[in-house]
């Protein structure tokens, strides 16, 4: 049986709302020692936490392709290589339930496959 995304992903990542200040995302990244924090839809609230210029949603990557917990890990790896990304959010029931990171994958796949993945992600497509 092949491995699934859920076998390699980091479960229950911290998230920020799109209208949360960028400094909140930076604080979480530092606390959790991670390279990214998923930005989820803003709640319909007038929090006044930050100005429209420093909302996390303004700096977040908009064109994100997710992985799914029961998706074969090989398919998610192909997507990472094709998109040349080091992380994929893992979505289930319209919720971020995990992050699949290059570092997680390296621990789960054979050395040759991990090396190939890193090479494909890092390859320049000029």
What lies within 8 Å, CB to CB, of 64 at 6+ separation is 89
Nearest to 42, CA basis, from 25, 52, 57: 57
Are 16 and 41 in contact by the 8 Å Cβ rule? The answer is: no
Residue range 29-42: mean pLDDT, rounded = 91
- At 15, is the secondary structure helix, strand, or coil? coil
Domain holding 32: CATH number? 3.10.580.10
Which pLDDT does position 46 carry in this prediction? 47
**Residue of 126, 25, 18, 114 lying closest to 73 (CA atoms):** 114
Percent of the chain with pLDDT over 90: 48
pLDDT score for 61: 85
d(CA 13, CA 27): 14
Q: What is the chain's length?
A: 126
Output the average pLDDT for the chain: 83
Predicted local distance difference test score (pLDDT) of residue 17: 93
Count of domains for the chain: 1
d(CA 100, CA 88): 5
Average pLDDT over residues 80-84: 89
Least confident of 66-70, 90-94, 121-125: 121-125
What range does the domain containing 19 cover?
Answer: 5-122
Structure confidence at residue 44 (pLDDT)? 52
């Amino acid at each position: 049986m092949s491995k699934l995304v859920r076998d390699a992903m980091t479960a229950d990542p911290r998230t920020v709302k799109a209208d949360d200040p960028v400094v909140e995302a930076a604080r979480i990244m530092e606390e959790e020692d991670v390279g990214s924090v998923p930005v989820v839809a803003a709640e319909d609230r007038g929090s006044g936490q930050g100005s429209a210029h420093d909302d996390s949603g303004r700096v977040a990557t908009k064109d994100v392709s997710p992985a799914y917990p029961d998706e074969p890990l090989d398919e998610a790896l192909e997507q990472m290589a094709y998109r040349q990304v080091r992380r994929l959010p893992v979505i289930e029931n319209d919720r971020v339930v995990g992050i699949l990171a290059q570092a997680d994958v390296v621990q789960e796949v054979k050395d040759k496959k991990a090396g190939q993945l890193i090479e494909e992600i890092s390859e320049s497509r000029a």
